[in-house]
Chains A and B, each alone.
Chain A
Amino acid sequence: AQSVTQLDSQVPVFEEAPVELRCNYSSSVSVYLFWYVQYPNQGLQLLLKYLSGSTLVKGINGFEAEFNKSQTSFHLRKPSVHISDTAEYFCAASLKAAGNKLTFGGGTRVLVKP
């Protein structure tokens, strides 16, 4: 069975500072990896996804993530955050054989301070 671990439950960061959200997955087979963002009382929106190819993936709102197979990681980064980036971020993984069932990490709450 696969699992997804987000190492930080909360990340406070000052406006215009960089942020990195850590995500590790466990799977013995190839996985597809996603990052989602959830604003308060809303559903989740896709930030970016890794399917294959280049290990550096660029997403919306200036976010990017790097797939590292040897470390089984898919960390999310943004070089300069805005107040509007305050939200909860979820890492997720799916297996081809799993019927499109995404496994989510526990989420990381980002609080951007002025």
Chain B
Amino acid sequence: QITLKESGPTLVKPTQTLTLTCTFSGFSLSTSGVGVGWIRQPPGKALEWLALIYWDDDKRYSPSLKSRLTITKDTSKNQVVLTMTNMDPVDTATYYCAHRRYCGGDCYSVWGQGTLVTVSS
């Protein structure tokens, strides 16, 4: 059974750097075709795709946020870390990590429960 869980601060101040950790089980990030993505959702708004890391350490970022995002993996710990610099109140959202499997592209077949991050001074 695949599970993922996000962890990190619930409150960050403007201009600070956010570090979120996705801890997963039930799959290995060294298996071909597998990846872990990050998606966020501001309160009451739509989903926004942020970043994805593949089993081979290839990475993809949202172009509009690329300068602020870094995604890394620690295969031995079954963790993926997302950092976002220069946080702003508009970055207030629930942040989800999700298991990516190959479906002709990126399908996010299992999601974490999400973690709400509030940006406020």
State whether these chains interact. Answer: no
Residues of A within 8 A of B (CB): none
